[in-house]
Amino acid sequence: MESKTPILLLSNDLYAHGEGLTSNKEMLKNASILNIQDFENRDPESQQELLESHGTVYIITSANEGPLPRVLNICDNELYHIKAEECQDADKSAYPYILNAKLMELMLEQKETENKKLEEQLASYLIAIDSIHTLSSYDRKEDIINHTKEFFAMMCLPENLCYFEAHNTKAQSGIHLTDFQKKEIVAFLKSNEYYKIAPSKKSFCFRLTLQDGDEGIFVLENIAYPSRLHEYLNLTLSIRSVLTLILENIARQNELVKSHNLLADANDMLQVINKILRHDLANNLGAIKMALEINETRPNPKYIQISKKAVDRSFEKINDMKGLENLIGTGKDLDCYEVKEIIEKIAGTDIEMDISIDGQCKVLADNALSSVFENIIKNAIAHGKANKMRITMAPSGKYCHISIEDNGTGIPDEIKTKIFKEGFTEGGDSNSGLGLYISKKVIERYGGQIAVKDNTPHGAKFILDIPSAK
């Protein structure tokens, strides 16, 4: 689209010398020249049409000749007023030279301003490129958001900068606005626009699509240089596109890592199942067969008892195999669980133990969490001979810290490092040795940790740290 030609409005005493102003200046080539008095004598509609059909307006007067036509103060044209006071005391033959010098001075200033603007834009884009390079090295959404806030704080120098996620109604209600009205932000959230400019033209907000399907909203109010607002919006568009790609890549990477971990867990589970089928169940079936064969030739109730015990052990192994499904979970996202409610439900069954529960915590987990607590409690009864248990829990940073203490015989130091290993049993114990192994794997799948310590004065103490649910 071609730019519109400029127009020169000259005062009466300078109008006769206007022709020489456009002869050798590219910026004023084909410019229209008009006497200010003639322009003022036009009706308002004609004045408006003339201005709309032209671009930049150059007003040249030799002195203060009263107020300019009102339409010039409200028009959308770029406007420059050159006062050539030197013409008042000069010979008329010098007018063209004075006017040309004044115009050249103005054009040099315009060129310097344009160059400065280009330099500022170049600096902005160089900073943006460096920022994009830095953003590409992050692999966490939180780091990306924080760096983006730092970038816009440095570039735009806003008096107020805030960020919130669209689904977080609590964060929305808590934001502090200094220029935007809250209803304007609400309307923006409901719209499909990617940015919004405040009525003052000093503030703007924009949205960013996050990898979890939510939207992050940045609000920048009362920026230091409102005249560069559209330049900042162009930068916003570039940064926003890059951020979307980075966040999408992080989401894909997280999915790949999650799939890899699920496959690794599934492989662990298959190996354990194979061991149970190949070794444990085969041994039990062999014992049953041998006892029944001997009983045929030498009948004795003890052989039937041996067979029954082998059958019971086989059923226990089968139940453990069902528990192994917890190693890989369902593949779904973790949900919020109230720890106290889970333990109270277990304690309300046929558990023969006095259990006290202090505190409460919400954690990110799934249905497998119940089996972890159930396993620890039943082990305390079966192996530690405990009849009392105290469970305390409280938030600790990003985790829920859970302490499970019993009054049983405790766990010997020499086996504390072994109890979470697959297949470990103490002495001649007929158990599968999978309970605590599965519990550890489940807690680790949540991103937490489980450990065992001595209790005072006696007994065992299990410590669990599970990521808290916000």
pLDDT of residue 1: 41
Helix (H) / strand (E) containing 303: helix 301-323
Count the alpha carbons within 13 Å of 330 in the hemisphere toward its beta carbon.
Answer: 9
Cβ atoms of 450 and 443 within 8 Å: the answer is yes
Sign of CA dihedral 28, 29, 32, 35: positive
pLDDT of residue 368: 81
Say how far apart CA 447 and CA 445 lie, in whole Å.
5
pLDDT of residue 431: 56
Is 330-470 CATH 3.40.50.20? no
| Residue 333: Cβ within 10 Å count | 9
pLDDT of residue 205: 92
End-to-end CA distance of the chain: 54
* 84: exposed, middle or buried (Cβ count in 10 Å: 0-12, 13-18, 19+): buried
Sign of CA dihedral 300, 304, 307, 313: negative
Say how far apart CA 107 and CA 99 lie, in whole Å.
12
> Which amino acid would we find at residue 451?
A
pLDDT of residue 207: 87
Token look-up 């030197």 returns: 86
Provide the CATH number for the domain formed by 7-115 in this structure: 3.40.50
Max Cα-Cα span within the chain: 144
Beta-carbon contacts of 238 under 8 Å, excluding residues fewer than 6 positions away, are: 128, 132
pLDDT in tens, the chain (470 residues): 457 888 888 888 788 776 666 554 566 667 888 888 889 889 989 989 999 998 888 888 876 566 778 888 888 888 888 888 787 777 777 777 777 788 788 878 878 877 777 776 666 666 666 666 676 677 777 888 888 888 888 888 999 999 988 887 777 777 889 999 989 998 998 888 889 999 999 999 998 877 566 688 899 999 998 988 888 888 887 777 777 777 777 777 778 887 887 787 777 767 766 665 666 677 778 888 888 889 888 988 888 898 888 888 788 777 766 655 655 555 566 889 999 999 998 888 777 889 999 999 999 998 888 888 988 998 898 888 999 999 999 999 899 999 999 999 988 888 888 888 877 776 544 555 677 888 898 898 889 999 998 888 889 999 999 999 87
pTM of the model: 0.45
pLDDT of residue 428: 46
Domain range summary for the chain, segments of one domain joined by +? 7-115, 136-328, 330-470
